[in-house]
Copies of this chain bind each other. A is one copy, B any other.
Amino acid sequence: MHGHTNSLAPLLAPRSVALIGASDDPQRIGGRPLRYLREGGFAGAIYPVNPKRESVQGLRSYASVADLPEAPEVALLAVPAAGTLDAVRACAAQKVRAAIVFSAGFAEAGEAGRLLQEEMTAVARKSGMRLLGPNCLGVFNSSVAWYGTFSAILDGEFVRPGPVGIVSQSGAYGSHIAHLARQRGMGVGKWITTGNECDIDVAEALRWMVEQPDINVVIAYAEGIRNRDVFVDALETAQRMEKAIVFMKVGRSEVGAHAVSSHTAALAGSDAVFDAVLRQYGVWRARTTAEQLDVAQACARGIYPEGNRIGIFTLSGGFGIQMADDAEAAGLDVAPMPEDAQRDLKAMLPYASPRNPVDATAQALTDLPLMTSYVAAMLERGGYDFFTGIFGSGPASPSFAGRLRDVLETASRASARTIMSLTMSAPADIVRSYEDKGFIVNEDGSALMTALGALVHFRRSFDRARANPARLAAVPAVDLGSGPLSEHEAKTILSAADIPFPAEALARDGDDVGAVAAAIGFPSVIKIASPDIAHKTEIGGVAVGVKDEAAAREAGAAILARAAERRPDARIDGLLVSPMIAGGVEVIAGVSSDPTFGPVVMFGLGGIFVEVLKDVAFRVAPFDTAEAHRMIREIRGHSMLEGVRGAPAADVNALAELLSALSRFAAANAAAIASIDLNPVRVLDAGKGVVALDALIVPRAANS
């Protein structure tokens, strides 16, 4: 059954495996998996299939899948693309539950390959057999010694089991990051590469991965996403289950996006929207591969801090300052030690700087009891969520490393809740000996601070998921009709969806408009009302600051005349009259439809903020007001809403309500709407609400 998360079990923890195209040569694609399975000690049944041989690498070989003593749970297909379809048919006929197709030469190689891939996928789908690949490097599950892969990185050395999972569209990237993780001594429990994704994609693999009890953190790589709903479900599941996802999404640059489209069949989507989705669901988007590993390593234990206070211990002022810079940049709070604790530390060593960074000077290197007292004081009295110690290349000496470890272990008993970390340069075995005691270690202090900042990020993300367990109330879809919508129609529809607009009334003609305006109140705004005129100012269809009835009649007549002259084709409903609303901060809100993620809400400040600085934030619809608040805070100019140059603070709560309401409306009407613009929206002084002054809905049909 597609989309059911248990369905990856045969792929990742099979009891039996057939290797179609098994080779006696342990270096070939058809030979490597067999070698890995035997070297690793896989406990399940292994059935090599090769009609040309009696035995393969010492195991009995079978002529076909049909000849096997049982239907294997999974089949590895190490045959050329041309032979794959037959092999898939044979597996499907034997009720094999899942097949991994290694070969290239499918959709990535042109039209013929695409057709072959489609046919193969249809065969599998019909029988209920799941497919991974084609053009993938397969999977491994090191905790059960299951190696359904020919990746060369396992040649000579396996990756030890552990709480890190890897899900990668690219086999090369997946292999490389597993190799780098192994180099750092990280345990990788499960590893999935999805390749061309004819059936199982990164989204489904990710969802399965985050549900595994022995996986705490997932390293993910994708160029694009095929299934929005499964992907979002995976991210929500991870957030709810407190599993960290550290994502490398490539195609950020223009050249990169171009290369994506030439490289895979995946829909890359807009990078800004993808970025917003990751942010929305608390995923950490790594900028570099090194950062991805730094963060994953820090998350591996699945332990997150309560807050963001960090105590920095150093033997050198310069290192301490550098670390403080990095900590602040990573969003950590380098909070000072309590005054009395500072006094006590100073009494112990007058040259020390006891504030934070706490600098015990090189003196502490030769006086380890002093170091113990200092570190213990930081842990007992600092109230820190994190402790970090800066030790440079000192611990490269094994004897010092051992004594230092004892000091830190002893001192760390003073606070069980403090996450212990340190930066040092030392041989791998020494670093491991610290990691085994629960320390997060990174040779680079900046990288360490980034990783600790990520722990805070995940803690907050998980807390958000806990705070909002209920789904957003669904909003009913509305009938938008078939043609374009006038401003008045758009406002009426959006009003019903809780978007606030000023009172307004439609005057049928130029005579009527004076009385209508008088009823609305002066000064007022008069606009042409037509479903065919989207950009009213461009044809002179708007008059502002209209002061009285006579002026209203005059303005109305002029607008109608210009409309008749410049857009003789347009249907005219009349004149829309609303009160003139001044003051507040001008913002813009909108909805667009992303090919991958569907309706996406955009928010920005008006004027140069959007036009010059491109200072906008995105979220996929729907989202709640808490998420809307985060969206608002995300733009660089958000302090404009807090009151600058003596202005009062704006009603950010009302703005958040508007954005959330807009997102719920957009989600409910995703199929019908191409885009929505609310421009401008005035955010009035705090407590006075928000009001959209114009609305444009472009229905899908009208846009296509």
Contact = CB atoms under 8 A, between A and B. Distances in A.
Interface of A: 104-105, 108-110, 152-153, 155, 168-173, 175-176, 179-180, 183, 221, 223, 248, 250-256, 258-260, 262-264, 287-290, 315-322, 324-329, 334, 350-351, 353, 355-357, 359, 361-362, 392-394, 396-397, 425, 443-447, 608, 611-613, 636-637, 639-640, 644-645
Contact of A316 (B172, B256, B315): B172
A262 B255 CA distance: 47
B289 A256 contact: no
Contact of A288 (B289, B326, B425, B640): B326
A608 B393 contact: no
Given A319-B173, A353-B262, A180 B425 contact: yes
Contacts of A393: 152-153, 175-176, 179-180
Given A176-B392, A253-B328, A259-B353, A317 B264 contact: yes
A351 B104 contact: yes
A258 B255 CA distance: 43
Nearest to A291: B446
Copies held by the complex: 2
Given A254-B328, A259-B353, 16 more contacts: A155-B397, A172-B316, A172-B318, A172-B362, A173-B318, A175-B393, A176-B392, A176-B393, A179-B392, A179-B396, A248-B322, A250-B321, A255-B324, A256-B321, A263-B318, A290-B446
Contact of A325 (B110, B251, B334): B251
Contacts of A324: 253, 255-256, 259
Contact of A250 (B169, B172, B322): B322
Given A328-B254, A392-B172, A640-B608, A108 B321 contact: no
A263 B326 contact: no
Q: Select the residue from A256, A359, A639 with max chain B CB neighbours within 10 A.
A: A256
Nearest to A400: B152
Contact of A262 (B155, B180, B355, B636): B355
Contacts of A329: 252-253
A425 B178 CA distance: 12
Which 5 pairs show the lowest CB-CB distances between chains A and B?
Answer: A170-B318, A263-B317, A172-B316, A253-B328, A288-B446
Given A290-B447, A319-B173, A393-B176, A359 B263 contact: yes
Given A223-B321, A263-B359, A320-B263, A425 B183 contact: yes
B104 A362 contact: yes
Candidate in A105, A170, A263, A321 with the most chain B CB atoms within 10 angstroms: A321
A221 B263 CA distance: 43
A612 B256 contact: no
Contacts of A640: 608, 612
A317 B445 CA distance: 32
Contacts of A183: 425
Given A104-B362, A183-B425, A324-B259, A444 B612 contact: no
A290 B611 CA distance: 37
Contacts of A258: 355
Contacts of A613: 613, 636-637
A396 B151 CA distance: 14
> Which residue among A183, A289, A639 has the maximum number of chain B CB atoms within 10 Å of its CB?
A289
A263 B315 contact: no
Give the residue among A179, A317, A327, A359 with the most B Cβ atoms within 10 A.
A317
A82 B153 CA distance: 60
A350 B318 contact: no
Contacts of A361: 104
B612 A318 contact: no
A394 B258 CA distance: 26
A350 B109 contact: yes
A162 to B, nearest CB: 19
Nearest to A326: B288
A168 to B, nearest CB: 8
Given A637-B612, A645-B611, A259 B321 contact: yes
Q: Which residue, of A258, A318, A396, has the highest number of chain B Cβ atoms within 10 A?
A: A318
B170 A316 contact: yes
Nearest to A322: B250
B259 A320 contact: yes
B446 A287 contact: yes
